[in-house]
Amino acid sequence: MKNLHKTWFDYFLVVVFAFILVITLYPFLNVLAISLNDATDTLKNINFIFPRKFTLTNYKYVFEEGGILQPLFISIAKTVIGTLAGVICTAMLAYTLSRRDFVFHKLFTMIFVITMYVGGGLIPEYLLIVRTLHLGNNFLVYIIPGLIWVYNMILVRSFIDGLPIALQEAAKLDGANDFQIWYIVIMPLCTPVIATIALYYAVGQWNSFMDTYLYAKKLPTLQYKLYEIMSQATMQLDTHTTTNATQAVTPMAIRMAVTVVATVPIIIVYPFVQKYFVGGMTLGSVKD
């Protein structure tokens, strides 16, 4: 299909995709440049990707007075704990459901898979979590309700299905119980799939916003903090023009610095993540 002879169309496509790359990257570079630019200078015009008057004042302000240390800490704690708990629980459950000789294998699998298609919806879940279980403004609300994603469980289970059964049988003959088989034999072999789902959970936890918004406004994450900064700015019609010039930082500069802080971990991680994500996505449906 591909011949070595290149036509004008091939070069035209390069131009098209170069344009797409510019459109994709420009907004990010713009944010970075504004966050590193002198706040009052930014007021003149925000359309630039190289800082005109370089400064670190915005970051200094954000970390010293902007009150993002607590949200940053909560975001990190939630990501680390949520990912660890999610991975361990998912892997454990996936192993038991991969065991075709387990008496409840069919029943339990069905109970989990059904929830991928039907859900109670926002209000009943809200009432359960806040009114019945009293998890509002409790750190556990970040961990427990979203503990296991059924899709991740199926990914791990189908990976375990592909492992040679002889390993488990050998361990059994050596007197290992089912928990030991999982922990000693299965888990070390599952590293690739564990890495995949760990990244899924981590990105999901870091990015989530609605959980804070609905259940735990008193435990703001970085995403929620950014939302707060944005909604304050909206009230003043996003002040590029109204801040007095004596102030060293503006709401916009603060917003940009926080945006960068919240984006950087994703930008660092995602090139590694994406190959796993793409793999998981094209793995397709897994049936029993």
Restricting to residues 32-91, which ones interact with another protein according to CB under 8 A?
Answer: 34, 45-47, 89
Q: Which is nearer to another protein, 62 or 203 (CB)?
A: 203
The binder of another protein chosen from 69, 111, 140, 184 (CB under 8 A)? 111
- Taking alpha carbons only, the member of 134, 148, 119 closest to residue 216 is 134
The binder of another protein chosen from 77, 144, 187, 248 (CB under 8 A)? 144
The binder of another protein chosen from 70, 140, 179, 192 (CB under 8 A)? 179
Residue 176, exposed/middle/buried by CB under 10 A (0-12, 13-18, 19+)?
Answer: middle
What are the tokens at 109? Answer: 């699998």
What are the tokens at 5? Answer: 């002879």
Least distance from C-beta 56 to another protein, angstroms? 20
Count interface residues toward another protein (CB under 8 A).
103
The binder of another protein chosen from 190, 219, 262, 276 (CB under 8 A)? 262
Span interacting with another protein, options 9-17, 63-71, 78-86, 189-197, rule CB under 8 A: 9-17
Render 112-134 in DSSP notation, one character per residue: HHHTTT----HHHHHIIIIIIS-
Q: What is the 8-class DSSP label of residue 147?
A: S
Could you say whether residue 100 binds another protein (CB under 8 A)? yes
The binder of another protein chosen from 119, 134, 137, 174 (CB under 8 A)? 119
Q: Which is nearer to another protein, 59 or 206 (CB)?
A: 206
The binder of another protein chosen from 187, 189, 230, 248 (CB under 8 A)? 230
Span interacting with another protein, options 64-72, 185-193, 205-213, 243-251, rule CB under 8 A: 205-213
Q: Which is nearer to another protein, 194 or 203 (CB)?
A: 203
Least distance from C-beta 241 to another protein, angstroms? 7
Could you say whether residue 189 binds another protein (CB under 8 A)? no
Q: Which is nearer to another protein, 80 or 286 (CB)?
A: 286
Could you say whether residue 192 binds another protein (CB under 8 A)? no
Least distance from C-beta 2 to another protein, angstroms? 6
Whole-number Å distance between alpha carbons of 188 and 171: 14
Say what the alpha-carbon torsion angle 47, 49, 51, 57 is, to the nearest 10 degrees. Answer: 90
Tell me the three state secondary structure of residue 38: coil
Binding mask 234-253 for another protein (x = CB under 8 A): x--xx-xx------------
Could you say whether residue 8 binds another protein (CB under 8 A)? no
| 249, 61 Cβ separation under 8 angstroms | yes
Whole-number Å distance between alpha carbons of 68 and 147: 26
The binder of another protein chosen from 2, 175, 244, 246 (CB under 8 A)? 2
Say what the alpha-carbon torsion angle 27, 270, 94, 125 is, to the nearest 10 degrees. Answer: -20
Could you say whether residue 190 binds another protein (CB under 8 A)? no
Whole-number Å distance between alpha carbons of 233 and 243: 11
The residue written with tokens 């098209």 in the block is: 16
What are the tokens at 50? Answer: 């190289």
Whole-number Å distance between alpha carbons of 243 and 203: 35
Alpha carbon distances (Å) from 221 to 34, 47, 230, 244:
23, 29, 14, 30
